[in-house]
Chains A and B, each alone.
Chain A
Amino acid sequence: MPTEARARRVVAREVTARRDWLSRIWTARTRSVIKELVAHLYLIPISITMLIPLVWLFSTSLKPKGMVFTYPPQWIPNPIRWENYPEALTILPFHLFFRNSMIYCITILIGQVLVSTLVGYAFARLRFPGRDLLFWLVLIRMMLPGAVTMVPSYVMFSKMGWVNTLLPLVVPGWLPGLYSSSFYIFLCRQFFMGIPLELDDAARIDGADHIRIWWQIILPLSKPVITTVGIFSFIIHWSDFMGPLLYLHEMERQTLALGIQTFRGAYDTEWHWLMAASSVMVIPIIILFFSAQRYFLRGISMTGITGR
């Protein structure tokens, strides 16, 4: 059939022509642009969803009481009611909670940074018999669930008269017995192993002992790891709930995490106040996170510690 053959030929020519046109448009560059567009198409809505809870937290915290319960939900409070903050924060002694949290976090932070760099230094750069075996102990500590020691530690500290003081919370930071401390030691060791040993030798020839090498040579070179450990430590203890719950019974000694829980017990339905109080706990962490975000994301990939 001649007509059919001709038709087929026409179609074939058209297909090749279209393919030419396609290949001209469909270069590697366009493909990557389209790929990028598709990625954004997925990532933007997901990112917005991820942010919704936090937006809702701040939004509720700034609403007048009557606006909290509305349908449909109002995202932008109108009028913005800043008074929620002073009101919520003066019902309970939040300034004390804030101060206690700061004292707790900063004392333990200093201890954890100093001690984990010192211990990490020994594991990374000193030779002594049994070193690798002892390092296994650090790793084993990471594998032990804290829930086993919760009750006996309480018994021990209460016999020592440490209940209602910061001691049972802070001393295990200075003498690293905490789950997180083992991570920091591990992290510091890994980091220090990357610093050339010749530096130590040079310093030793100049007459420095190990304490000085640690303090004057290694620490100044270790800002990334120190920042990482410091921020982790701060965030973990800022959020710590179980420790203060176990040991800080008196209201004047409580931390923010615990104080907010007490607050909830009394003012459950005052959501605008509760959200204002919660925001006060979240905001410092967000500021800290953004100011040291680069170190933080790098650090977390080095250790694998989570914020909670």
Chain B
Amino acid sequence: MSAIATKLFGQRALRWREALTGYVFISPFLVGFLWFTAIPMAIALYLSFTKYRIIKPPEWVGLRNFVRLAQDERIRVALFNTFFYAGISVPLYLVTAFVASLAMNLKIRGIRWYRTIFYLPSVTPAVASAMLWLWIFNPQWGLANQAVKLFGIRPQDWFMDPQLAKPCLIFMGLWGVGPTMIIFLAGLQGVPESLYEAAMIDGAGSWGRFWNVTVPIISPVIFFNLIMGIMGSFQVFTTAFIITTGGGGGARSYGAGGVLDCLLFYVLYIWQQGFSFHRMGYACAMGWLLLTIILVLTVIQFRLQERWVYYEAERRL
């Protein structure tokens, strides 16, 4: 058909047809982007200037939601918790995943098995793994207390202890560093062997090779994992939600947010404001604040990367 088209309409018509096909093919994405991303974000921006409780139409209140953002005690707690979690978990997971990927890059027998085992925990559905860790960290009968007993430490309350709840959550996340590890591994396998040989001829030891060859070459991968890690850690929801809600009857002394709000993370708080308290306008304002925070952090990271991320032949993203 296109051969006939060429004869009839020439090269230009053919190119025009190709362009049209291109737009048709990507149209699902464009519609989806508008419908499920752009429009909701615009709605959120509008609603953040209104008082809106779903049953009645939104009522314009100007900057009142933003004034409240500045005064809300709990949002300070939520921001603190989120920054605390991000500040500790992101570097910890990155370093752990990187060290693990170095081990996974060894050429030893059974390495496939190790990779599989290290990856396996991360496919466990978040709900199931939250249940499992709740059981492990059960203050009365959990495995964690039986383990610390071996070291002579008295039983702890774990998730019910405001001091320990966040560290427990971070520890739990350590179990799921598999994907980050695999991405590092792919980066390590992409380091050209010739560079190592050249470094060896120049007399570099294994430490020197690591710092001067491996790290610069995979720095874009580190950067990628860093950006994704920050994005993810600012959006903790499912595990915190499951740990802090539900539970049977009167024995439960904690609600969404955990004991003393120690597990009140930002997205959890948005959810609470929007869907428990039905303050949709305020929740939207919170959403935009989160977007701004993540945007600022991402821009800072992109600025900083020029100092430490090494790109071969100016190839970016």
Residues of A within 8 A of B (CB): 35-36, 39-40, 42-43, 47, 50-54, 56-57, 60, 68-69, 71-73, 115, 118-119, 121-123, 126-129, 131, 134, 137-139, 141, 143-156, 158, 172, 174-178, 181, 185, 204-205, 207, 209-210, 214, 235, 238-239, 241-242, 245-246, 256-257, 260-262, 264-269, 271, 274-275, 278-279, 281-282, 285-286, 289-290, 293, 297, 300-302, 304-308
Contact = CB atoms under 8 A, between A and B. Distances in A.
A273 to B, nearest CB: 11
Contacts of B140: 69
Nearest to B131: A278
Residue of A39, A172, A285 ringed by the most chain B CB atoms within 10 A: A39
27 contacts: A36-B106, A36-B108, A47-B118, A51-B120, A52-B143, A54-B120, A68-B141, A73-B143, A118-B25, A121-B25, A127-B15, A127-B18, A134-B30, A147-B270, A149-B44, A150-B267, A150-B271, A151-B287, A155-B280, A156-B43, A178-B32, A205-B2, A241-B241, A257-B125, A271-B135, A301-B182, A301-B183
A126 B224 CA distance: 28
B179 interface: yes
Contact of B21 (A122, A155, A290): A122
B23 A128 contact: yes
Given A143-B231, A150-B270, A300-B183, A286 B125 contact: no
B80 interface: no
B148 interface: no
How large, as a class, is the contact surface on chain B? Answer: 35 or more
A76 to B, nearest CB: 15
B183 A175 contact: no
Interface stretch (B66-74, B210-218, B246-254, B255-263): B246-254
Chain A interface main SS type: helix
Nearest to B119: A297
Report, nearest first, the 7 A-B pairs whose CB atoms are least far apart: A177-B36, A301-B186, A268-B248, A177-B32, A128-B22, A122-B25, A239-B125
Contacts of A155: 43, 47, 52, 54, 280
B309 interface: no
Interface string B35-69: 11101110110010000101000000000000000
B252 A268 contact: yes
A302 B185 CA distance: 11
A151 B280 contact: yes
A152 B120 contact: no
A256 B128 CA distance: 10
Contacts of B1: 207, 209
Contact of B26 (A119, A257, A265, A297): A119
Contacts of B28: 115, 118-119, 174-176
Contacts of A286: 120, 123
Contacts of A267: 248
A107 B266 CA distance: 31
B10 to A, nearest CB: 15
Nearest to A299: B182
Given A148-B291, A300-B183, A307-B178, 20 more contacts: A122-B26, A126-B25, A134-B30, A138-B29, A141-B33, A146-B235, A148-B287, A155-B52, A156-B43, A172-B35, A175-B32, A241-B126, A246-B275, A261-B242, A265-B246, A268-B248, A271-B135, A285-B125, A289-B123, A308-B176
A36 B109 contact: yes
B228 interface: yes
A50 B44 contact: no
A260 B13 CA distance: 58
A175 B31 contact: yes
B281 to A, nearest CB: 9
B246 A275 contact: no
Given A238-B125, A297-B115, A150 B274 contact: yes
Contacts of B40: 148-149, 152-153, 156
A245 to B, nearest CB: 8
Nearest to B246: A265
B136 interface: yes
A147 B44 CA distance: 11
Nearest to B172: A53
B247 A152 contact: no
Contact of A268 (B125, B136, B251, B284): B251
B296 interface: no
